[in-house]
Amino acid sequence: MSKTLIIGAGGVGRVVAHKCAINESVFGEITLASRTKSKCDAIAREIEQKRGVKIKTAAIDADDKAALIELIKTTGAKIVLNIALPYQDLTIMDACVETKADYLDTANYESPDLAKFEYKQQWARNDAFKNAGVTALLGSGFDPGVTNVFSAYALKHYFDEIHYLDILDCNAGDHGYPFATNFNPEINLREVSAKGRYWENGQWIETDPLSVKIVWDYPEVGAKDSYLLYHEELESLVKHIKGLKRARFFMTFGQSYLTHMRCLENVGMLGIAPVDHKGVKIVPIEFLKTLLPDPATLGARTKGKTNIGCVFDGVKEGKKRKIYIYNVCDHEECYREVFAQAVSYTTGVPAMIGAKLILEGKWKKAGVWNMERFDPDPFMDELNRQGLPWKILELEA
């Protein structure tokens, strides 16, 4: 029987735990561990009541490699799903190499002290994973994650060459708060307030934060302002999807979110360097996280839908072609199923699917991999089966 360790019991961790329990025959004995054990216990109770599946829980500080190694050994985990924060990616990867467990995450490593993410340090562990004979699957959420798989699928079945890629992420949900982030506030605000960046004709072009906007008519949601951001899947996609001339990422934001974010930034609340407050050192963005609603609690009050997808523009058999591959997810339906809002759901379901494909041997290959490197077909099938059905819209090329 397989044994599975999930680390992180926030909004996304809850979805992953539920979905692994639903697929218990693949995941076997499941342990949910996080810094705050009481959060794991609450989720475990929920899963037992709703699904009749018992999962174990544990306390772990995933910044502590020795403690991680010990936990992986005592649980006997064959795979570790890192659903904590990107800060923990490297320690968890190293503990997996040492214990010969497979590894998966949903977000690219970044250091708490520098608001910059890149794959360099995770890719540098490729030989270590190869030598240990274990798999590391990077970025198995929705974006990154499903967007990478959509890209591989489009190239496999719809195009000879993709020239232009636009990844579009729309959350048209309403949680009723003037300001809240739908995943970890610190990670979210670091990403959104950073400079934008896109790839064109072989080079990166930097833009001022939120200075490039398009309006996209999202099926089942409507037309929304969508702002250019730098997003981590661009780094691997421009490397692996041959023929790309341009790759960009856009995300929708409401005016209330943008006004609050600018105001917080202007007064220094997004700062990541410690400041002295009455003799105590505090990091402004960490303090802000304490004040903001916990994204894991938004599920019960969020209404509306998400629409996330990719527009591909290229050629097939000498003819121009343009398509939009996307998923629509309803916040209230997600809550009914797993007590979480759609942003946690659209991240947690692909994390479970990536791990399932590794355990089933379909995506099991020693080394460190981004999602677009594997055959997309089994993943696309699982999306339809596990709650994230996708559609394809032919557009005028």
List residues binding ligand NDP (CB under 6 A).
Answer: 7-13, 34-36, 39, 60-63, 83-86, 88, 106-107, 139, 141-145, 183-184, 187, 295-296, 343, 347
Both tokens assigned to 288? 């802000």
Q: Give me the least distance between CB of 201 and ligand NDP, in Å please.
A: 27
Q: Are 188 and 270 in contact (CB under 8 A)?
A: no
Both tokens assigned to 316? 């097939």
Nearer to ligand NDP, 62 or 311 (CB): 62
Nearer to ligand NDP, 105 or 313 (CB): 105
Q: Give me the least distance between CB of 171 and ligand NDP, in Å please.
A: 10
Any idea what DSSP says for residue 174?
Answer: B
Q: Give me the least distance between CB of 397 and ligand NDP, in Å please.
A: 28
Nearer to ligand NDP, 8 or 173 (CB): 8
Element (H, E) at 335: helix 331-338
Residue nearest to ligand NDP (CB): 10
Burial (0-12, 13-18, 19+ Cβ within 10 Å), 64: middle
Separation of alpha carbons 198 and 177, rounded Å? 31
Both tokens assigned to 252? 């929708």
Nearer to ligand NDP, 162 or 349 (CB): 349
| 68 contacts: CB under 8 Å, gap ≥ 6 | 60, 62, 91, 92, 95
Q: Are 265 and 190 in contact (CB under 8 A)?
A: no
Nearer to ligand NDP, 10 or 284 (CB): 10
Q: What angle do CA 121, 344, 294 make, to 5 degrees?
A: 95
Q: Give me the least distance between CB of 140 and ligand NDP, in Å please.
A: 8
CA distances from 197 to 22, 233, 283, 308, 370 (A): 39, 12, 26, 19, 20
Q: Are 334 and 11 in contact (CB under 8 A)?
A: no
Q: Are 354 and 339 in contact (CB under 8 A)?
A: no
Of 322, 319, 318, nearest to 154 by C-alpha is 322
Nearer to ligand NDP, 27 or 183 (CB): 183
Q: Are 285 and 190 in contact (CB under 8 A)?
A: yes
Q: Give me the least distance between CB of 193 and ligand NDP, in Å please.
A: 15
DSSP 92-132: HHHHHHHHT-EEEESS--B-TTS--B-SHHHHTTHHHHHHH
Amino acid, res. 94: D
Nearer to ligand NDP, 63 or 94 (CB): 63
Amino acid, res. 16: V
Any idea what DSSP says for residue 246?
Answer: E
Q: Give me the least distance between CB of 245 and ligand NDP, in Å please.
A: 25
Q: Give me the least distance between CB of 229 and ligand NDP, in Å please.
A: 13
Provide Rg for the chain, Cα atoms: 20
Q: Give me the least distance between CB of 145 and ligand NDP, in Å please.
A: 5
Nearer to ligand NDP, 98 or 200 (CB): 98
Q: Give me the least distance between CB of 267 and ligand NDP, in Å please.
A: 23
Nearer to ligand NDP, 34 or 135 (CB): 34
Separation of alpha carbons 249 and 241, rounded Å? 15
Q: Give me the least distance between CB of 350 and ligand NDP, in Å please.
A: 7
Nearer to ligand NDP, 261 or 321 (CB): 261
